[in-house]
Structure 1
Amino acid sequence: MTTRKRAHIAMFSIAAHGHVNPSLEVIRELVARGHRVTYAIPHAFEEKVAETGAEPVLYRTTLPGPDDDPSAWGDTLLDNVEPFLADAVHALPQLAAAYEGDEPDLVLHDITSYPARVLARRWGVPEVSLSPNLVAWEGYEEEVAEPMWAEPRRTERGRAYYERFENWLTENGVTEHPDPFVGRPPRSLVLIPKALQPHADRVDEGVHTFVGACQGDRAAQGDWERPAYAEKVLLVSLGSSFTKQPDFYRECVKAFGDLPGWHVVLQVGRHVEAGELGDLPGNIEVRSWVPQLAVLRKADAFITHAGAGGSQEGLATGTPMVAVPQAVDQFGNADMLQALGVARHVPREEADARTLREAVLALVDDPEVARRLSEVRAGMAGEGGTKRAADLIEEEIVRGRRDGGVKRRGTGA
């Protein structure tokens, strides 16, 4: 059961491509259905959000920006998580003030947006997580989280982090421990194919619904034309964050430069210049950014960092992948892709020219890889994507109104 009664839906995210991009087509669809959608986001993504028809609600962030050097995120687990808590403390008063008198009927939020969850509970409205990557399964805490946190928890810094988090939650009326607050949302739409989810058979689908890729046509990002001479096209991209890898790009040039019939699109990000890569053969196209989905639709192979977005784009376009993970969930994604039979996982320290070339050539010549990609694509097509996500969000609005949980305020009432 869905509703076409106009609602005010508030989306909350951070200024990171991997967290904003997966939500955009869902937001565009909700606007097209007549809902008023506000989107809380730092200034760097104001234009991208506005293009969907949503109203940007701007706040000042303390997190590193999309153009900052990746080293700004540090190297350890605590380096990675502390900035999100600090940003939440900083952002919550701004967001509460921005929405005062204009509270929404439903809160959508990226998994990194802690203030959204606090505000949803303060306002008494349904909260729905839009997860751009894997979600916790039954046993996740014992198998992954506890071993990962064992050492940090023993340090003074780790104990101080949890104390700050617990105090912040308590001050804002949340009695939940930080771990389930972050990792166990009451309702979640998972914006990746189920094929990319580890232990999918142990995920509570009463909470998490896999809607798969919500990609849209991406026409606004521009197109890409395959050169007339190219018999095969390879895209190399390490995403948007961990791109400061000139040594790796030089290995790619060495592996595929002047390879007969091949054209290589090498996306190097903002922190590497083409001049750092030495003499470039004519078949190597170096770009700081490309419309990735447009290139993949015409590509024959993909060397990727195995981020959630890139992984599912490779699957959706049926492109064999060599996965060279750089950080966080990418290692697990690389293993999942290899287990699906559509990719090779090459650890970063083993990604030399010979290994990369052999892996790519083996994949594109293997009919079994093509067959598995076809099967995975067919499964993804049945997950529903953008329209199913919007349907399920509307069901949550109906349920909230029926249960009396939605406080009808402001212009979205």
Structure 2
Amino acid sequence: MTSPQRAHIAMFSIAAHGHVNPSLEVIRELVARGHRVSYAIPASFAEKVAATGAEPVIYTSTIPTDDDPDAWGTELIDNLEPFLADGMQSLPHLAEAFEDDRPDLVISDITSYPAPILAHRWGVPYLQLSPNMVAWDGYEEEVGAAQTAQLEESERGRAYRTRFQAWLDENGMDLPLDRFVVRPERSIVLIPKALQLFADRVDESAFTFVGACQGERADQGDWERPAGAEKVLLVSLGSANTKQPGFYRACVEAFGDLPGWHVVLQIGKFVDPSELGEIPGNIEVHPWVPQLAILKKADAFITHAGAGGSQEGLATGTPMLAIPLAVDQFGNADTLVQLGVARRLPMEDVTAEALREAVTALVADLEVARRGEEIKQDMAKEGGTHQAADIIESALPARTA
């Protein structure tokens, strides 16, 4: 499907790999179809955005980045306040940036609170792009109510809710804050349906699952399986929660010199390899790796069960050991276990022995392999990038000649 008219589409996101990466192939496809895409993003991601053909619109963000994961704190309110504060401070600057270049349609990641407000102000359609699980029928009672109750227990939580609602009211949004993020009128869900909790209870008139939009990622480089490696294991905790030297040492102890095994250990930017002690010859250690390229050739994957890593593991049919660390990762880990393609190990229970036992049992389990291949085939049939772009084009306002 190709739109007969070139449109101006505005995309909004934050400086976080897990929120930018899922959108990139969709943006690349929209540009390839002839649309002009302006992508509002902090400067640290401008180059990555520009590589899709979109025009970066740079704004200054106050949200903690992957470089400072400790800034997120430990309580629910610590994880919520930064998005509201950033939305409130960036809204006028983003409005000014587009003042003389209004888009025909607005799309955004779930974390960009100014985007739906600006779409409402400009009178143009808005579509949310969700890189993780979405709300299902009953979500408010089963999850939302407990979170609201927790916030209402503290003065800080109550003030946050009051401030958020007042901001929405001031901008004419005419909806309760509890629906603002989790109940968009239209959302494109950039994960496979298999990864969605209670998928049969999701309103598909509002949420459309298109599956992973991964692309070839040739720019990230390739990886070759070493000759003689009988089994390959990838270990990665993503990009944010990687300050885990004890965990990495346990991995080295668990798999170092294990006959027939080759291990790719991604340790992120916060841990120095010297902290891991002597590294056996069958383990390669890197701050970053081309994850998808490795998973296509791997036999097992130790993951924090982030949305991106989980769907890459599913897309490649790789058995997973899930060690969730934060937010949606716990739900993702449960879902992977329920799908029959993973086992779960709490970080507090991690030992070299527990890791080795779990991973070797995973790769020996024929049912795990069968389920993994089945889900891999199902995912290959999902609409992906092209379906996402089709939905966005169909939301463009009709133009008269």
Counterpart of 2:208 in structure 1 is 209
The one-letter code sitting in structure 1 at the alignment partner of 2:94 is L
Deviation by residue 1:313-347 (Cα, 9 ceiling, x = unmatched):
00101100000000000000000000100000111
Residue of structure 2 in register with 1:28 after alignment? 28
Residue aligning to 1:11: 11
Q: Conserved in 2, the CA contact under 8 Å of 1:4 and 1:33?
A: no
Deviates more, 1:59-68 or 1:333-342: 59-68
Displacement, 1:195? 0.3
Identity %: 70
Query: Could you say which residue in structure 1 is the equivalent of 2:60?
Result: 60
Distance 1:120 1:352 in 2: 50
Secondary structure of the residue aligned to 1:128 is strand
Please give the residue correspondences for 1:148-297 in structure 2 after superposition, counting only pairs within 5 Å.
Answer: 148-297=147-296
Please give the secondary structure, in 1, of the residue aligned with 2:181. helix
Deviations 1:231-267 (A, max 9, x none): 1110000001111111111111111011011111110
The 5 A counterparts of 1:292-371 are: 292-371=291-370
Other-structure match for 2:45: 45
Pairwise CA distance, 1:376: 0.6
Q: Output the CA distance in 1 between the equivalents of 2:137 and 2:293.
A: 37
> Normalized against structure 1, the TM-score is what?
0.95
Gapped regions of structure 2 (runs ≥ 5): none
Specify the SS of the correspondent of 1:325. Answer: coil
Distance 1:246 1:66 in 2: 17
What letter matches 2:398 in structure 1? R
Find the residue that maps to 2:93 and give its secondary structure. helix
Query: Does structure 2 conserve the Cα–Cα contact (< 8 Å) formed by 1:237 and 1:304?
Result: yes
Rounded to whole Å, the distance in 1 between the matches of 2:338 and 2:150 is 30
Is 1:78 the equivalent of 2:77?
yes
Q: Are 1:192 and 1:312, in contact at CA under 8 Å, matched by a contact in 2?
A: yes
Q: Which runs of 5+ in 1 are unaligned?
A: 403-407
Q: State whether residues 4 and 34 of structure 1, in contact with CA within 8 Å, keep that contact through their aligned partners in structure 2.
A: no
Q: SS of the residue aligned with 2:95?
A: helix
Deviations 1:190-220 (A, max 9, x none): 0000000000011000000000000000000
Match of 1:373 in 2: 372
Please tell me the residue identity of whatever aligns with 1:80.
Answer: N
Q: Distance in 2 between matches of 1:129 and 1:351?
A: 37
Could you tell me which residue of structure 2 aligns to residue 396 of structure 1? 395
Aligned to 1:106: 105
Q: 1:146 corresponds to which residue?
A: 145
Does structure 2 retain, via aligned residues, the 8 Å contact 1:22–1:215? yes
Of stretches 359-368 and 193-202 in structure 1, the one that deviates more from structure 2 is 359-368
- Alignment partners' CA distance in 2, 1:370 and 1:204: 31
Structure 2 counterpart of 1:168, which letter? W
Separation of aligned partners in 2, 1:266 and 1:242: 15
Tell me which amino acid in the other structure corresponds to 1:87.
D
Aligned counterpart, 1:405: none
* CA–CA distance in structure 2, aligned partners of residues 389 and 183 of structure 1: 19
2:381 equivalent in structure 1: 382
Give the 3-state SS of the residue equivalent to 2:336 in structure 1.
Answer: helix
| CA-CA distance at 1:95 after TM superposition | 0.4
- Aligned partner of residue 183 in structure 1, secondary structure: coil
Take 1:13 and 1:80, find their aligned partners in 2: how far apart are those partners?
A: 17
- Structure 1 residue ranges, 4+ long, deviating more than 4 angstroms after superposition: none
- Alpha-carbon shift at residue 25 of structure 1 (Å): 0.3
User: Hey, what's the Cα distance between the residues in 1 that align with 2:11 and 2:333?
Assistant: 29
Q: Structure 2-normalised TM-score?
A: 0.98
Point out which structure has higher relative CO (alpha carbons under 8 A, 6+ apart).
1
User: RMSD of the alignment, in Å?
Assistant: 1.3
Distance 2:257 2:366 in 1: 25
Q: 1:131, 1:2 → 2: CA distance?
A: 23
Instruction: Spell out, residue by residue over 1:280-307, the C-alpha distance to the aligned partner (whole angstroms, 9 max, x if none).
Output: 1111111000011011111110000000
For residues 62-96 of structure 1, the C-alpha deviation after alignment (integer angstroms, 9 at most, x for no partner) is 1112322x111110000000000000011101100
| Alpha-carbon distance between aligned partners in 2 of 1:17 and 1:229, rounded to the nearest angstrom | 34
| Amino acid paired to 1:105 | D
Residue 2 of structure 1 and its aligned partner are, at CA, apart by 5.8
Is the 1:2–1:392 contact (alpha carbons within 8 Å) kept by the matching residues of 2? no
